[in-house]
Amino acid sequence: MYKTVQPIIYTILLSLLLTACDSQTANLDDATSPEQNVTTIPSTDINRTAYDNAKPYDDYTDYAENLSTCTIYEEQYQHPFVIEVMTRKILGYQNGLCIYTETMPQDALMTCSYDEVTKNAVADYLVLLDNATSYTTEFVNGETVYTVDGVVVDNPLATAIDDGTCQFEF
């Protein structure tokens, strides 16, 4: 069963996820001593084998390639906020729509039903992020602004979340 939540919450969640790696890097660059940014995680807290084999959150190469053709595909990735391995799945076409799911923290699931235009826009956006030297998400005057390599861009995934193309199950 899907629950409807305000679109701004999705935008904020997506924004935080997409900038987590940049923010962590920036924090490390600003550190005055290495000890300030070190977090010790007991090895019993996570499944090291699965985590070590998972892709970084922002490695979209294979996912974007398979999404562009809606080829059935699955990969595990490291979530940027929680020490958990999550799963991205492209389930193929159903009723003319490309179905994609992504597990989220706290057992949530995002399911997207992409039409051709949206599927291609999201795949192209992921390729853009993959090839970028930098990307940020900022909140300016109540608006979310996505910048890739210094250029403000539209984020089709945020649009898909806002317009209901992507639904969340909690």
Per-residue pLDDT tens over the stretch 70-90: 999 999 988 777 878 999 999
Contact 67, 100 (CB under 8 A): yes
Percent of the chain with pLDDT over 90: 51
* 8-state DSSP, 52: H
Quick one: average pLDDT of 57-80?
A: 90
For 64, the token pair is 């974007």
Give the pLDDT band of residue 138 (cuts 50, 70, 90).
Answer: very high
Whole-prediction pTM: 0.68
For 82, the token pair is 């929680």
Neighbours of 52 (CB within 10 A): 10
What is the residue extent of each domain of the chain? Answer: 7-14+46-169
Contact 112, 99 (CB under 8 A): yes
Contact 14, 158 (CB under 8 A): yes
Question: How far, in Å, CA of 31 to CA of 2, rounded?
Answer: 42
* 8-state DSSP, 144: E
Q: What Cα–Cα distance (Å) separates residue 82 from each residue in 2, 51, 97?
A: 23, 11, 31
Per-residue pLDDT tens over the stretch 2-30: 333 333 344 444 444 444 434 333 333 44
Question: How far, in Å, CA of 98 to CA of 146, rounded?
Answer: 25
Per-residue pLDDT tens over the stretch 107-128: 999 999 999 999 999 999 999 9
